[in-house]
Amino acid sequence: MACIKGFDITAPVLLEDIPREGLDLYYDDVASVLRESGLPDGQESISGEAHLSRSAGTVHLKGRVDGRLVLLCDRCLERYPLDVSHSFSYLLMPSGAQRFKPELSLSEEDVDTTFYDDDVMPLQSIFREQILLEIPIRGVCSSGCKGLCPGCGENLNTSSCRCASGEASGPFSVLKGLLD
């Protein structure tokens, strides 16, 4: 089994790069695949593994992602960490083979099938999809997060609502509160 540690997720892996006995790839950081996904920048740290084996043009991928994402809380808009640890399995086929659905054994029913062009394994898009799958649609920093007051905009986890006090709200109200 060929094995490469510290591999770069942006380096292309071609069908011909996968030897008959298989190929193990270890990535120190696959977070670059999340660029332009709307997540806070430069805050993610996620390692990845890709174990590739093939028969003719059909490639079997077993992969894994491990690490931590930094997300924005849906209620209070503060950053919070989300641990990611997740295994996945794919069957990769040449795009010309779309019409021929491979016969899968029962144990492989939950394997995703995807297609590749020009003998390039779509590892970046697979890692991206698998990491984004881990992100909740309405994620919160904690189940008890109180969010922002819709009136004064205060983060109710760290300060109290100023609406009832009659003080003017605005960008300087927080600063004023600190000086008082």
Exactly one of 15, 18, 34, 73 binds Zn ion (CB under 5 A); that residue is 73
Residue 69 beta carbon to Zn ion: minimum distance, rounded to whole angstroms: 15
Binding mask 125-144 for Zn ion (x = CB under 5 A): ----------------x---
- Binding residues for Zn ion, rule CB under 5 A, total 10
Characterize the bridge pairing of strands 112-116 and 79-94. parallel
Per-residue tokens: 89: 């399995």
In angstroms, what is the minimal distance from the CB of 85 to Zn ion? 22
Query: Binding residue for Zn ion (CB under 5 A) from 151, 165, 167, 176?
Result: 151
Neighbours of 152 (CB within 10 A): 20
Q: Which two tokens stand for residue 156?
A: 């109710």
Is 161 a binding residue for Zn ion by CB under 5 A? The answer is yes
Q: What CA–CA distance (Å, rounded) separates 99 from 97?
A: 6
Backbone angles phi, psi at 149, to 5 degrees: -70, 130
CA distance 40 to 34: 10
Nearer to Zn ion, 8 or 167 (CB): 167
* Residues contributing to the site for Zn ion (CB under 5 A): 73, 75-76, 141, 145, 149, 151-152, 161, 163
